[in-house]
Structure 1
Amino acid sequence: MDRQRNHQLVLLMKEFDLSHRGLASEVNRITADMFGDNHPRKCTDRHVRRWISGEVRWPWTRYLHALEHIFGRPAQTIGFIPRGKSSTNLPAPPRRSPAPKEESMLRRRFMIAPAAVTVAVALGIDETPSGGRLSMSDVDRVHQRIGRLDAHFFAIGGGPLAEVCQVFIERLRAALASCTYGDRVERALHGAISSLYASAGWAAHDMGDSTHAALLHTASLQSALLAGEPTAAARAWSNLALQARSEGRHREAVQITRAALDNRRARQDPRIDALLHARLAIGQAHTADRNGAARSLLAAEQAYDRVTPGIPAQAWLGFLSPAELSGLAALTHQALGQYDHAEAATIQALKLLPAPMRRQRTLYTVQLAELQLAQGERDQAAATITQLDSSSLDSRRITDRITAVQRTLTA
């Protein structure tokens, strides 16, 4: 019988980041778990080469069970061809050991946080793998959930998202401890964890917990370094700079942002380049560097002009738009005492803001009212704040600012 190369197995090994020796090691691990470790015949890279070449078209049953478990699909869709009708249906494998105790512990910890349950279940966090071999497809599903989590933040604010992110991080760390994977998948998982720490830090900041937010942004940077992802590191540096600015450490914020801008690979993404320069401008304005702030605002505009239409942004950069750049420019003008320019830029941001960005719309509306009050325009500020609907907002930081404006108006 002519040999036929098993291309499907080759593709799966590439997707799961498995070498010949790595797949053989995985098969031995699974078969030891299923059948015991006393079997004299061990799988080797030679077996794998024979499967790929087509010399062996239907491996031994114990190996087929292991391969089905590793790749999560029937043997025939892995590219293997049964010898005949009798071999088409594999006998059921022995019952495997129960799920590790850590999984049930994480489930109990998750269930005692009722405010976060609805969001977490909707995101599918409970479906995070707790065993077996992880592939880049698993990582892609993780990033899809993170993208939905970020969209939830853009819509209504932080709310319970810091807690949800932490539960997700625990599950991914459990997967790193209990699953098997290649180097590429490991780095990608650390990148996902960095993204979750960053989202958790923003949520904590949004709920007024600056101390916790700073710790989460630091953890995001550490995971980004483990992942070796320049964009994740730039995001973490940018968030740490924003945290420093919110605590009044403006010179430190400028230094941190400049450190992020030193990463040329990250700046190859024009959106990241634009965001970093816009935030640098705010820091420079707070340190009375007017010329530097003007240059940075111009650099932000020029960077955003390089964005290629039709190419979607990374999920976490979904907020960055011409509207956001106008809002950041308004903060720069406000720090420079140019309240009329800041008001005009904020109005421009509100005009350009996409409809789903409800949190940002509320934020800019409050910002506009604050700027109007700073210029003595009480009637305009009252009209601005009256048209505000924050009923669906879940952001303590923004609601506190709304309350402060209302108190000023009624004083």
Structure 2
Amino acid sequence: MQPRVPNIALRLLLAEAGWTGEALVRKVNQLGAEAGLSLRYQRASVTQWLSGVKPRPPVPELVAEGLSRALGRRVTVGDTGLGRTGETDLSAWWGDSVARLIDPERRALLVGAAYSVAALVVPAWTTVGSARLGAPSQTADDIRVGRPEAASAAAMIRVFSDSDAALGGGYARRALAGYLSTTIAPWLRADTNPGLRRELLTTAARLSYLCGFMCFDDELHGSAQHYYLTSLRLAAEGGDAYGYAIALRALSVQAHHLGHHPQSLDLAEASVRTASTRTPPHSSAFLLGQLAVAHAAVGNRRDAATTLNAADRHLARSVDSTAAVGAYHPASLAHHYAAVAVCFGDRATATRALASSLRCRPHRERRSRAVTLAQLAELQFAEGRLEQACSTWQDFLDDYPLLCSRRADRAMASLRAHARAHRRNPVARALLERASTLTVAAKGPRVP
């Protein structure tokens, strides 16, 4: 056994950041929560790391990400001295877009991957859009891919999209990850004509986007970012500008959700710039709605209002808003009006907009309806309308047992906390009793 070598690199990075060991483990635990992990590291762990102990993944990635955010520059796992011999820095794994589809669970990515702010710096479409269609990186001689395979892959977009919308991301994200790994990746490696390969790349980009959103819904943010970035690369390789735009939008939504508002705005602006003038009206509205929210989050009130109005005008001209990826309809627009109002502290407007969104929401979108109901109940509670909030939460409970979504689970936890605080109120007590019954009866153990 080789003697441990003190980790001078990590010590110097901590000094540069002005961090104590306690500050580092707080950040690691926080980033672990972003990745869907419950970590409980303490100061003693840092003492071990500084002495030369190499923690298991994803801790090195979390340390690197935390220091990157603190220092305002990219810090790799190698820079921290925590990488094991022969180990590569996963955040720098960009080479082969098809390789990114190979079951990332074997790369410790599907569960517990670190979300990286540094990875949000991506090239503009004007830089990547002129690149030639990539040839198969590794030809699979025993696989033949033709029109039937391409059609079957395209049909799976609707299958997985409908499952996600109705039941949440938790049920199908593993199935979709496996499909991308065992079916789509080998097809993309097969020798086929350029037109068919471009079609397969576009389909793969949409499926990767969906897998990212399923991970986002299940609050696995590192994994979600991995699939969104994969979607971005596949769209670039396939020459699909709109696919590139919606992947940028997805990264913007996630960055906004996690509180990285300047980055969210940059990505949303890039997504709108990427879309061509031939983009269908509902697709333009889809991109503009997120840009409005991103403007609002950084306080750009006038830009947010102007962009929302533009989204409204585009949607009014739309004749089809039911796309499997990028669907946008009046319920979506109303939800964006609510999100902008929340950014400016206008709860009354946000409440009205969420109520409008619920009235317009297609019945098949159960998960979105449940999340919106929870958001509306939170606003009603904040306005002191306890019994109205309880009524809204009762509607949420109608949908909740059918969902496998950590966003819905988080809403349920909030519901129970509010109801417990007001259990002397008979309406709140009835809500708490029903919620407790559903939690015990309907929810089995979660698959990570």
Query: TM-score interval w.r.t. the shorter chain?
Result: 0.5 to 0.7
Output the CA distance in 2 between the equivalents of 1:312 and 1:289: 28
CA contact under 8 A between 2:251 and 2:267: conserved in structure 1? Answer: yes
Structure 2 vs 1, CA of residues 188 and 286 (structure 1 numbering), >3 Å: closer, same or farther?
same
Partner of 2:241: 230
Q: What amino acid does structure 1 have at the position aligned with 2:273?
A: D
Which of 377, 381, 387 is the aligned partner of 1:373?
Answer: 381
Partner of 1:314: 323
Does the residue aligned with 1:355 lie in a helix, a strand or coil?
A: coil
Partner of 1:402: 412
Q: Does 1:247 align with 2:295?
A: no
Shift in Å, 1:313: 4.1
Output the CA distance in 1 between the equivalents of 2:152 and 2:318: 26
CA contact under 8 A between 1:378 and 1:409: conserved in structure 2? Answer: no
Structure 2 vs 1, CA of residues 214 and 132 (structure 1 numbering), >3 Å: closer, same or farther?
closer
Deviations 1:279-306 (A, max 9, x none): 1111111111111111111011011112
After TM superposition, the structure 1 = structure 2 runs for residues 27-176 of structure 1, keeping only pairs within 5 Å, are: 131-170=142-181, 171-176=183-188
Provide the TM-score with structure 2 as the length reference. Answer: 0.60
Output the CA distance in 2 between the equivalents of 1:264 and 1:149: 25
Structure 1 residue ranges without an equivalent (≥5):
1-104, 114-128
Deviations 1:23-42 (A, max 9, x none): xxxxxxxxxxxxxxxxxxxx
CA contact under 8 A between 2:246 and 2:326: conserved in structure 1? Answer: no
Which of 364, 367, 374 is the aligned partner of 2:372?
Answer: 364
Q: Does 1:342 align with 2:347?
A: no
Q: What amino acid does structure 1 have at the position aligned with 2:290?
A: R
Shift in Å, 1:131: 4.8
Q: What amino acid does structure 1 have at the position aligned with 2:219?
A: G
Output the CA distance in 2 between the equivalents of 1:380 and 1:333: 20
Shift in Å, 1:269: 1.8
Bigger mean CA deviation after superposition, 145-154 or 162-171 = 162-171
Structure 2 vs 1, CA of residues 234 and 130 (structure 1 numbering), >3 Å: closer, same or farther?
farther
Deviations 1:304-363 (A, max 9, x none): 11212xx46432133x21111111211111111110000001111111111111111111
Provide the TM-score with structure 1 as the length reference. Answer: 0.65
CA RMSD between the two structures: 2.2
Deviations 1:114-139 (A, max 9, x none): xxxxxxxxxxxxxxx99553223421
Shift in Å, 1:162: 2.2
Does the residue aligned with 2:345 lie in a helix, a strand or coil?
A: coil
Q: What amino acid does structure 2 have at the position aligned with 1:408?
A: H
Output the CA distance in 1 between the equivalents of 2:367 and 2:212: 16
Partner of 1:4: none
CA contact under 8 A between 1:230 and 1:266: conserved in structure 2? Answer: no
Does the residue aligned with 2:325 lie in a helix, a strand or coil?
A: helix
Q: Which has the larger radius of gyration?
A: 1
Does the residue aligned with 2:276 lie in a helix, a strand or coil?
A: helix
Bigger mean CA deviation after superposition, 279-288 or 158-167 = 158-167
Structure 1's consecutive aligned runs of 4 or more residues displaced over 4 angstroms after TM superposition are 129-132
CA contact under 8 A between 1:267 and 1:273: conserved in structure 2? Answer: no
Output the CA distance in 2 between the equivalents of 1:209 and 1:269: 31
Partner of 1:393: 403
Output the CA distance in 2 between the equivalents of 1:151 and 1:260: 24
Q: What amino acid does structure 2 have at the position aligned with 1:196?
A: L
User: In percent, how many aligned pairs have the same letter?
Assistant: 25
Output the CA distance in 1 between the equivalents of 2:390 and 2:249: 34
CA contact under 8 A between 1:201 and 1:213: conserved in structure 2? Answer: yes
Q: What amino acid does structure 2 have at the position aligned with 1:342?
A: A
Q: What amino acid does structure 2 have at the position aligned with 1:172?
A: I
Does the residue aligned with 1:317 lie in a helix, a strand or coil?
A: coil
CA contact under 8 A between 2:161 and 2:324: conserved in structure 1? Answer: yes
